[in-house]
Amino acid sequence: MSITQLLKKIIPFIQPYKKIIVFTFILTLLGSFAAQVNAFILRYTVDSISDLMVEKKALKDGFALLLFISMILFSKEMLNALIQFGQKFYGEKLRIFISRDLSQAIIEKILTYRLAFYNSTENDSGKLQTRIDLGISSLTRLIQNFFIDILPLFTNAIVALSVMFYANFYVGLVGLIMIPFYFWVSNLQAKKLSGFRRNMRTYRESKSSRIINLIESITVIKSFVNEKVEADKHAQIQFDMTENQMQTRKVSFVFDSVKSFIEQFGVIMIIVLTAYFVLNGQISLGAIMFHIMLFSNVSAPIKQLHRIYDEVNDALIYSEGFFDIIESKHEVEISGNYKPEKITGLFELKNVNFRYPNGHQALKNINFTIKPNEITALVGLSGAGKSTIINLLDKFYEPQSGHIFLDGIDLKEYDTHFLRSKIGLVLQKNHIFKGTIHENIAYGLENATKEQVVEAAKKAYIHNQIMELSLGYESDAHLLSGGQQQRIAIARLFLKNPPIIFLDEPTANLDAIATEQIKKSIDAIKKDRTVIIVSHSISQIIDASNIIVLKQGECIENGTHEELYKNKAEYYSIFSAMANSLNIEKIMTTFD
Ligand code: ADP
């Protein structure tokens, strides 16, 4: 990304604060003029004192001079304090506001993205977070530095340089000649550093995703006594990062010395040149200090030039990732605008082929129908493509070829938000949000009444257990066990009351009692709805009106339990394995 591209991209974020920017700029300009006062006063003082000394005037006349210059310097400092306060305050305000806008903009944007965006390895949570954080902080730092540090310094330098030319053309010329050298060296420095900076970004991203991964895997790491191995892996990244940082510093220090040399060379030139003109009688003695002070006003911002390069480079590197995220149009979920009054819930899949973004072909030429008012079970070994079907029916992904129809209309035509509002989804491991049990059941239906929430909890067989907690429905939802959290998700489903329900191994994590209770809930909920269940539970499968058997992404059987069992094919072997694993003979002898 070039600087102009970067500017174009940040302008929309700066635009709302035009007034603050203009005001800050006026303050900056005033500050730049005020900054030159010291040089003028110093020249006036030196010249006046040397006149007094030549004329051998009494100390009394000197006091009047001191009083006069003190008054001027004091007033100027008062004005300066006000200007600086305004500049810093409004500059900071700009930074805080823009940082807030950037964070809000990116969050709002990524919430609209397809699931594929979140599943890509490029965007695992650690990397995504680092990219967002670094993008925002580098952009806000750039804006802050520009308005608070750089702009005042540069305005100051331009004013000081003009005054130098006005005071003496040759002195001005020395000041001017220095600038391209500085730019050249700073540019060289920035170029040398950019590779290191880019590496740093990669290290930071992988470091934070590793740390997140480490924390998530801590139980497994400890149970395998693998702390040392993990620590060593981390040490390697730390080592590479340190090496990179040291190289960055080394290059920076070398260039800093070169720039310092150029600046001091300028100071010497100014002293020699001015002394020549003073001795020549062309200008007064006070001009020596005058010129040196003006030159320091010119060189001060130039000394900071590498910082601008650094900031701009940081912003170019880090904001690239940030803007990639915020601008990736192809990630936005595609939506039609079809919103029927009523959904019956008849799904038809015709020649559906689907490949995940990583290229894995998860479904091959799938054809089947899912009827309303009955339960359809998706059966197959792990990895067969059952959850993938649910992902497609929920429009989390779109098939590469073939069609999915709902009530005769292609799913593509449906308004995605509308469609999802008509689907209830219960997963194997359901998500519990930070907050109370009430908030978790009412998630997505924030204005549900207490009675409705309690009613839903009762249907999901969780009400009594909630009431046993000291705070009841106001308890922290994370206090609940896995099985209880699952029933919270089912309560959510009862409250949402959708015409279509997808249950992806809903009882996989539940104990036997809870499973039995949930079975009752599911029986109650299936009436007048389309229910699709992915399950490894025999009782749930044989209860289904229709069973679809998947194998390696293909639909190989379709029918009722009895039909498929008679077929003696894939379903027969899965069912037999399930039944055998239950050790039915032993169970039977127990019952006898
Ligand atoms: P099932 O639910 O039958 O166990 P899935 O539908 O989850 O199977 O997965 C089907 C195949 O697709 C598997 O081989 C799995 O590894 C692969 N798969 C699942 N999710 C993704 C994903 N996000 N990206 C790439 N491949 C995936």
- Give the pLDDT band of residue 193 (cuts 50, 70, 90): confident
Burial bucket for residue 441 (CB in 10 Å: 0-12, 13-18, 19+): buried
**Given this model, what pLDDT does residue 285 score?**
85
Cβ(387) – ligand 1 distance below 6 Å: yes
User: Is pLDDT of 430 > 80?
Assistant: no
| 123, pLDDT greater than 80 | no
Most confident of 157-161, 296-300, 349-353, 358-362: 349-353
Give yes or no for residue 75 having a pLDDT over 90. yes
The residue among 223 and 585 whose pLDDT is bigger is: 223
Tell me the longest C-alpha to C-alpha distance in the chain.
Answer: 130
Helix (H) or strand (E) run with residue 531 in it: strand 530-534
pLDDT at 289 over 90: no
CA-nearest residue, atom 10 of ligand 1: 385
For range 106-124, the mean pLDDT: 85
Q: What percent of the chain has pLDDT over 70?
A: 99
What's the pLDDT at 156?
A: 83
In short, whether 356's Cβ falls inside 6 Å of ligand 1 is yes
pLDDT of 419 strictly over 90 = yes
Distance from the CA of 108 to the center of ligand 1, in angstroms? 28
Please report the pLDDT score of residue 475 as a whole number.
93
Atom of ligand 1 at shortest range from CA of 116: 23
Q: Which of 241-245, 278-282, 511-515, 539-543 shows the lowest mean pLDDT across its residues? A: 511-515
Task: Report CA Rg, the chain.
Answer: 36
Task: Answer yes or no: is the C-beta of 389 below 6 A from any ligand 1 atom.
Answer: no
pLDDT for res 242: 94
Report whether residue 366 contacts ligand 1, using a CB cutoff of 6 Å. no
Q: Which atom of ligand 1 is nearest to the CA of 389?
A: 6
Ligand 1 and 121: CB distance under 6 A: no
The CA 532 to ligand 1 mean position distance, Å, reads: 18
pLDDT in tens, 435-480: 999 999 999 888 889 999 999 999 888 899 999 999 999 999 888 8
Q: Helices (DSSP H) in 350-409: which residue ranges? A: 386-393
In the reported structure, the alpha carbon of residue 349 is separated from the centroid of ligand 1 by a whole-number distance in angstroms of 18
Give the residue whose CA is nearest to atom 8 of ligand 1.
383
Q: Is the CB–ligand 1 distance for residue 286 below 6 Å?
A: no
CA nearest 163: which of 38, 250, 47?
A: 38
Per-residue model confidence (pLDDT) at position 439: 92
552 Cβ below 6 A of ligand 1? no
397: CA distance to ligand 1 center in Å? Answer: 12
Which contacts of 164-171 are long-range, i.e. CB under 8 A and separated by 24 or more positions?
164/291, 164/294, 164/295, 164/298, 167/283, 167/287, 167/290, 167/291, 167/294, 168/274, 168/277, 168/283, 168/287, 168/291, 170/273, 170/277, 171/270, 171/273, 171/274, 171/291, 171/294, 171/295
Let me know if domain 3-329 sits in CATH 1.20.1560.10: yes
Output the CA 355–ligand 1 centroid distance in Å: 10
Rounded mean pLDDT of 96-102? Answer: 93
Render 39-87 in DSSP notation, one character per residue. HHHHHHHHHHHHHHHHTT--HHHHHHHHHHHHHHHHHHHHHHHHHHHHH
For residues 196-220, average pLDDT: 86
Q: What percent of the chain has pLDDT over 90?
A: 39
pLDDT computed for residue 526 by the predictor: 75
How far is CA 114 from its chain centroid? Answer: 16
- Residue to substitute in 115, 378, 386, 388 for testing ligand 1 pocket (most ligand atoms within 8 angstroms of CB): 388
* Residues contacting residue 177 through CB under 8 Å, at least 6 positions apart: none
**CB of 110 closer than 6 angstroms to any ligand 1 atom:** no
> Which of the listed residues 117, 360, 570 should we mutate to test ligand 1's pocket, taking the one with most ligand atoms within 8 A of CB?
360
Indicate the residue type of 67.
L
Kindly report the number of other CB atoms within 10 A of residue 114's CB atom.
Answer: 19
Ligand 1 neighbour 247 (Cβ under 6 A): no
Is the predicted pLDDT of residue 55 greater than 90, yes or no? no
pLDDT at residue 450, as a whole number: 93
Q: Which atom of ligand 1 is nearest to the CA of 378?
A: 3
Task: Pick the closest to residue 115 from 414, 378, 357, 429 (CA basis).
Answer: 357
Residues 266 and 292: beta-carbon distance below 8 Å: no
* CATH homologous superfamily, domain 349-422+502-592: P-loop containing nucleotide triphosphate hydrolases (3.40.50.300)
3-state secondary structure of 166: helix
| Ligand 1 neighbourhood includes 384 CB (under 6 angstroms) | yes
What is the pLDDT confidence band of residue 191, given thresholds at 50, 70 and 90?
confident
Which of 352, 366, 387 has most ligand 1 atoms within 8 Å of CB, for mutation? 387
Read off the pLDDT of each residue in 32-36 and give the average, rounded to a whole number. Answer: 86
